[in-house]
């Protein structure tokens, strides 16, 4: 299988949302994870939330045996979440500052205001050998502070990019181009995610470098309703092909 510099991690939360709408085990997130990897994804992402409205803690435990690529677990670092991650031992944990009742992640960490808390949590994961990433905006000072508290990577919150992209792609990408350079100079890897899709992903990946990984879920599963899941994974992966 051809490999590209930027890896695609597919978030399977929405598959679990559909399953939970009716109960039972159809569609099955475990089977979906197996197929998505077979169809070319470089990793699987899940984001269990306290209300278990999509991926549950039980799903996460069962997925560990199915994910043979990179397993990325996202979430707010509550005591229960930390314990889950340390038990499951994913390749990567991405910490997000979500309050329990939020619909979807829509802001990054203030890494200065929460420095002491993040340093302690990140240290626990580092001791366990788990790569860490912090969900963050494009503020250079906050990215530098992410390095100071011990993160391995940042995941750039790309909601603002997706919103501005239809009007002015170059202006939309500019803050992220600068942020990726700040991250690299601070010794951090760069991930990205939120509202990336078939219209805006290729532009982002070709202009924002370095870019280690993108995490995409809602858009891929939405497109899969029209073009099929295997085709959707393939088309998203193709957007990451170097120019």
Residue 82 lies in a domain: yes
**Is 74 a known active-site residue?**
yes
Residue 96 lies in a domain: yes
pLDDT tens digit sequence for 214-224:
999 999 999 99
Residue 1 lies in a domain: no
54, 70, 194, 213: the active-site residue: 194
pLDDT tens digit sequence for 195-213:
999 999 999 999 999 999 9
Is the pLDDT at 51 greater than 80, yes or no? yes
CATH assignment at residue 53? 3.20.20.70
70, 74, 155, 213: the active-site residue: 74
Q: Domain tally for the chain? A: 1
pTM of this structure: 0.95
Three-state SS annotation for 13-49? HHHHHHHHHHCCCCCCHHHHHHHHHHCCCCEEEECCC
> What is residue 155's predicted lDDT score, i.e. its pLDDT?
98
> What is residue 107's predicted lDDT score, i.e. its pLDDT?
73
Residue 2 lies in a domain: no
C-beta separation of 155 from 134 below 8 A: yes
Q: How far apart are CA 190 and CA 133, in angstroms?
A: 9
Structural domain span for residue 163: 7-239
Residue 231 lies in a domain: yes
> What is residue 81's predicted lDDT score, i.e. its pLDDT?
96
Q: How far apart are CA 108 and CA 124, in angstroms?
A: 21
Q: How far apart are CA 163 and CA 167, in angstroms?
A: 9
Question: Percent of the chain having pLDDT more than 90?
Answer: 91
Residue 60 lies in a domain: yes
Residue 80 lies in a domain: yes
Question: Tokens 């509550």 — which residue?
Answer: 78
208 contact partners, CB below 8 Å, separation of at least 6: 156, 173, 176, 177, 179, 180, 190, 192
Is the pLDDT at 187 greater than 70, yes or no? yes
DSSP result, 74-130: EE---HHHHHHHHHH--SEEEE----TT-SS------TTTTHHHHHHHHHHHHHTT-
* DSSP code for 166: T
CA dihedral over 57, 59, 62, 68, signed as positive or negative: negative
Q: With cut-offs at 50, 70 and 90, classify the pLDDT of residue 243.
A: confident
pLDDT tens digit sequence for 81-120:
999 999 999 999 999 997 665 555 567 899 999 999 999 9
Phi/psi region, residue 10 (left: phi>0; alpha: psi -120 to 50; beta: rest), is beta
47, 54, 155, 213: the active-site residue: 47
Residue 205 lies in a domain: yes
> What is residue 104's predicted lDDT score, i.e. its pLDDT?
55
pLDDT tens digit sequence for 146-167:
999 999 999 999 999 999 999 9
Q: With cut-offs at 50, 70 and 90, classify the pLDDT of residue 5.
A: very high
**Is 194 a known active-site residue?**
yes
Query: How much helix, strand and coil, in percent to the nearest 5, is found in the chain?
Result: 45, 15, 40
Length of the chain equals: 243
Q: With cut-offs at 50, 70 and 90, classify the pLDDT of residue 4.
A: confident
């Amino acid at each position: 299988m051809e490999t590209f510099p930027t890896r695609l991690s597919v978030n399977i939360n929405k598959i679990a949302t559909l399953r939970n709408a009716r109960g039972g085990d159809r569609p099955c997130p475990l089977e979906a994870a197996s197929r998505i990897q077979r169809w070319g994804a470089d990793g699987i992402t899940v984001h269990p939330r306290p209300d278990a409205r999509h991926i549950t803690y039980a799903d996460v435990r069962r997925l560990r045996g199915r994910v043979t690529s990179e397993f990325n677990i996202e979430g707010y670092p509550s005591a229960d979440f930390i314990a889950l991650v340390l038990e499951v031992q994913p390749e990567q944990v991405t910490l997000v500052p979500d309050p329990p009742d939020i619909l979807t992640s829509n802001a990054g960490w203030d890494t200065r205001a929460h420095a002491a808390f993040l340093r302690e949590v990140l240290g626990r994961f580092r001791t366990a050998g788990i790569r860490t990433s912090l969900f963050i905006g494009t503020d250079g000072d906050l990215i530098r502070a992410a390095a100071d508290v011990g993160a391995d990577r940042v995941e750039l919150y790309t909601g603002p990019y997706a919103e501005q992209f239809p009007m002015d792609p170059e202006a939309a990408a500019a803050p992220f181009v600068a942020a990726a350079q700040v991250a690299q100079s601070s010794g951090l890897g760069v991930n990205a995610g939120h509202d990336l899709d078939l219209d805006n992903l290729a532009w982002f990946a070709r202009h924002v470098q370095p870019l280690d990984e993108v995490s995409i879920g809602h858009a891929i599963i939405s497109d899969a309703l029209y073009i099929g899941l295997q085709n959707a994974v393939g088309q998203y992966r193709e957007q990451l092909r170097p120019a």
